[in-house]
């Protein structure tokens, strides 16, 4: 299932400059996702990280992976979205994070997330970020779902 930027914004509340997923290429709701972040020199963080040698911050790669996971976690089995307006999705844990190669302007960051456990309150994922077929980052992440009402 392919989801464009409008469908992504319908599913998660993030907006520029914190929306870090551009397109979903494959998704199995509640199970896995492959999404894309196109990294450009126009990203606001490149002004200070680092002007002489722009590198995408590792924490933002982890955030992009968490956003991708949120997209499939808030999707029904037929791909329609759950009502995420009444819930918050918080990144609460990162284990085993490894950054293998710098991510630079011009890279297409492929975001892979696979559910290890999804419940109504805690979700755990195995994630990896890939550029040109090489793993550039990986981590196990945990997110909490909280009722806003």
pLDDT tens-digit series, residues 79-136 = 566 666 778 889 999 999 999 999 999 999 999 999 999 888 899 999 999 999 999 9
Give the HSE-up count for residue 113: Cα atoms under 13 Å, Cβ half-sphere.
33
pLDDT beyond 90 at 51: no
**Is 49 considered catalytic here?**
yes
pLDDT beyond 90 at 1: no
Residue of 14, 49, 52, 112 marked catalytic: 49
Which of these, 90, 100, 87, lies nearest to 141 by C-alpha position?
Answer: 90
Q: What is the pLDDT of residue 79?
A: 59
Averaged pLDDT for residues 3-21: 94
């Amino acid at each position: 299932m392919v989801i464009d930027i409008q469908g992504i914004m319908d599913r998660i509340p993030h907006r520029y400059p914190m929306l870090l997923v551009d397109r979903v290429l494959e998704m199995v709701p509640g199970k896995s996702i492959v999404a894309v972040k196109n990294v450009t020199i126009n990203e606001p963080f490149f002004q200070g990280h680092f002007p002489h040698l722009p590198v995408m911050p590792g924490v933002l790669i982890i955030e992009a992976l968490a956003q991708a996971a949120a997209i499939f976690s808030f999707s029904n089995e037929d791909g329609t979205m759950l009502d995420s307006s009444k819930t918050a999705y918080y990144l609460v844990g990162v284990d085993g994070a490894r950054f293998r190669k710098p991510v630079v302007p011009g890279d297409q960051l492929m975001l892979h997330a696979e559910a290890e456990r999804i419940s109504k309150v805690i979700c755990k994922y195995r994630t990896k970020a890939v550029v040109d077929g090489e793993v550039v980052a990986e981590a196990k992440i945990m997110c909490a779902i909280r009722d806003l009402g």
